[in-house]
Structure 1
Amino acid sequence: MLPFYSLLLIATWLVPKYCLVQLNEPFLYISATTFKFVLTSTLFLTKLKMKMSKFVCFITKKLQNLSIFVNPFWIQICYFISVSSVGFLVLKVLKPRNKSFRPNDFDVFFMSVSATTVSSMSTLEMEVFSDTQLTVLTILMVLGGEVFVSVLGLHWLNSKFKKQETQNKVIDPLVVSVEDLRYKSSIRYLSYVVWAYFLVIHIVGSTMISIYMSLVSSARNVLKNKGLHLVTFSMFTTVSTFTNCGFIPTNENMIVFSKHSGLLLILIPQILLGNTLYPPCLRFLIWVLWRLTKREELNYLLRMNFSDGIGYNHLLPFLHSCLLVVTVFGFIVIQFILFCCMEWNSEALKGLNCYQKLVAALFQSVNSRHTGESVVDLSIISPAILVLYVVMMYLPPYTTFLPRKNDEQSLRSNEKMKKRREKLVENLLFSQLSYLAIFIILICITEREKLREDPLNFTVLNIVIEVISAYGNVGFTTGYSCERQLKHDGYCKDAWYGFSGRWSNEGKLILILVMFFGRLKKFNMEGGKGWKLM
């Protein structure tokens, strides 16, 4: 299969040039270029899936051995730290786009952590990175994405089942019940469905971006002027959008594409499919496959309850999935209306027509929950919108505001509270807000000199936005402007990276901890119950 793809790939590199140079047919050139990209993406993803499968098997075997002795929280934190460290070493070895510029090692590690935790907090401009480094960042985002990490969990369950079956055959071949076999088979089918969901969205998303960039000359010129390749941009943007990381290979993020409403509309579904609407879409896909195939394993997955402990927290019950859809779109509508009311005639949307403003407002509203891609400069929008974004960034992805009977979360927490040791640990834990308040206070201490000398840039609100954005793994930032300095520094130059890029190394280190804490916040959602406000 791969040699056949390779022959086609060689042909597709020659056909576009022939169509343009010899035949002088731009349309054929675009069609051939698009076909080349699709084939390149398919070949890349095929090789990637083979390598990922080997990687997943290796990791799950190691995790299976560790999980017997170690809490899942420590397994995941070791995983993210290891991936971030390896990513840092690879990024450091590779040369940046401008070979005369060598970024600070701490900033490179910060960017590696940001990509792995899908936070998109930046201390370096994105156009600093070469194509090879952008590919490394793409891989880090894949490895740190919630869907991929959940696939690791499913493979761990499958490997655990295989080990149990081997032991049971040795002890007693009849010890496994029919219900156990059905459950194990359903988990295996679930892993297949998630893999298909993951690959199809990436292939379709990358192809649609490639087609748009090929057909729209103004968008293609942006890549040409910045020295970005179409394949690199399409793959990087699709992965970043689906994993809800928010990195874009351009310095300006999506501001440079604010007038390209078609591209924004292509990205919006990918944002929702990869995060907030992932459980409802996954459940709908399983239902469609069950209707087509009538497989009992798929029907079993649909009938499973969250409280039964299927081992995959993203497969929510039907009612919860419906309420989640209502909640997600409710939040989007609220933000969209408020953004249009407050910013319609503002500097942030200057130069856009009515249609472009509507699409930009919708894109910004969808991104505020977890993705962090932005078409406006957040430093110039109204404080009311910024406070609303802080609330949106704080909320977990599967938040629902409608009441549900027999809340599965409370059932799980009650089971945990039965054990005395776990009860003691939970009573000692602080709430999420308490930890965030501590982080904000620590950063205010480390940056106290700049808070005093540069009060227009270093405001408490800007620090709060940066911390909550890192905690929510969003990536929104107000940036830094040399024009707002009270004491003008002749050496100050505006740069397209986050506000945290102007912090001290101590402040950046605290923000790294916040990114890890936010990526693993699901392990502390029940924290703070030992504290009672009277």
Structure 2
Amino acid sequence: MKNTPNLKFRSKTVKCLASLHHALTCMCHWTGTTLYSFLRALLLRVDPFWLQLCYFVTLFMLGYMSLSILEPRSPMNRPKSYDLLFTAVSAVTVSSMATVEMEIFKLSERKSASSPSSNMNVENGLMSTNSNIDLKYKSMKFLGITVLCYFFTVQVIGYLLVSLYVGLVVSIKEVLMNKKLNLQVFSIVTTISTFTNCGFLPTNENMMVFKNNQGLQVILIPLVLLGNTLYPVFLRLVLLLLGKISVREEIKYVLENEDELRYPHLLSGVDSWYLSLTSVGFTLIQFVLLMSIGWKSQAMHGLNTSEKVVGSLFQVTNTRHTGESVFDLSLVSPAIIVLIVTMM
């Protein structure tokens, strides 16, 4: 009987602790769902300008720090900080301008000793109905995942093709070995730079040192188009293909509400057709003019017929996009320079 008060006290203590645990659990759940709803509403309302500004500034800083960490081939040739910053900004903005030679950085392989979802209503009243905002948000997520998969797939396939070609062609391997460039690093940098239309290659001569390698040029030409002018066209084709094999409502919403999603590269079907016809048309016009004017130019001296054709196609494709050059433009005629400037 003497232990009865202790038992009652313990029982009350357990109940209090259980109630406190329940209250804390509810509070954490409420806080998490409220924060989730706030971030989702913020994502839909924030001005895209500030998102892009933060995105580019972050990339500028990451690029600058990455270049600062890289060791130059010669300690005496270490670039200045403002040169590294300029190169980082130029790479992010795909302007293809550089104040340092690309081969100054060590790109060889280093040896090492060791190898909750919520269905709660948005309480601030930013959207008229919960179903509409959920569908729009799901569609944005679906579009983002689709774009990410598109970028990843195209670049992985491009890297595999470039790496395979570089590994099989002896002439390219000799050039890279003489320049002390790692084959795999060259393949990665070339693929990403071409797809993003940056135009930076690990070689100082850009693509001119590979003007006889038609296979490499043929691999890079689609990457140029898939990452620039024809990207909206192929993005819509991917969405249409997904719509054929799936009945998800997000796909239908994305294809029918381009303006609502505010993604500038998501064009309507009609605009995609106009864009593809314009891009292909300008490329063909420039190709025909370059072939007719520059067939016997000094820039094409020493190339056979197929090398001239493929090289010209590579050159005109890059004129309006990446900026990579397979011909020495200092050797072409003034008429070709005017043509290139016009198409640019």
Whether TM exceeds 0.5 here: the answer is: yes
Q: 1:79 to 1:185 in 2, by over 3 A?
A: closer
Instruction: Give the match for residue 243 of structure 1.
Output: 196
Q: 1:106 maps to what in 2?
A: 82
Residues in 2 aligned to 1:181 and 1:73: alpha-carbon distance in whole angstroms: 24
Does the residue aligned with 1:316 lie in a helix, a strand or coil? coil
- Go from structure 1 to structure 2 and tell me whether the alpha carbon gap of 1:272 and 1:349 turns closer, same or farther (over 3 Å shift): same
Using the TM superposition, give the Cα deviation of residue 346 of structure 1 relative to its aligned residue in structure 2, in angstroms. 0.9
Alpha-carbon distance in structure 2 between the residues aligned to 1:386 and 1:78: 38
Q: Residues 197 and 75 (structure 1 numbering): CA distance in 2 closer, same or farther, change over 3 Å?
A: closer
- Pair 1:203 & 2:159 matched: no
Partner of 2:59: 83
Spell out, residue by residue over 1:101-129, the C-alpha distance to the aligned partner (whole angstroms, 9 max, x if none).
22233322221111111111122211111
Separation in 1 of the partners of 2:124 and 2:276? 47
Say if 1:186 and 1:298, in contact at 8 Å, map to a contact too.
Answer: yes
The size of the alignment, in residue pairs, is: 298
Q: How is 1:110-509 mapped onto 2 (pairs within 5 angstroms)?
A: 110-131=86-107, 168-170=121-123, 176-304=129-257, 306=258, 308-393=259-344
Give the distance between the partners of 2:62 and 2:219, measured in 1 at CA.
Answer: 32
- Alignment partners' CA distance in 1, 2:56 and 2:254: 29
Contact 1:94 1:132 in 2 (8 A): no
Partners of 1:343 and 1:169 in 2: how far apart?
A: 64
Gaps of 5+ in 2: 1-38, 110-116
Partner of 1:528: none
CA displacement at 1:75 relative to structure 2: 4.8
Q: CA deviation at 1:132?
A: 7.9
Q: Which residue of 2 aligns with 1:494?
A: none
Greater Cα shift, 84-93 or 275-284: 84-93
Q: Unaligned 5+ residue runs, structure 1?
A: 1-60, 134-161, 394-534
**RMSD (Å), alpha carbons:** 2.8
TM-score computed with the length of structure 1 as normaliser: 0.52
**For 2:312 and 2:190, how far apart are their aligned partners in 1?**
20
**CA deviation digits over 1:209-245, x for unaligned, max 9?**
0110111111111111111112101111110011000
Distance in 2 between residues matched to 1:270 and 1:82, nearest whole Å: 26
**Which has the higher Rg, Structure 1 or Structure 2?**
2
For the residues of structure 2 that align with 1:312 and 1:169, how far apart are their CA atoms? 23
**Structure 1 CA distance, aligned partners of 2:123 and 2:54?**
34
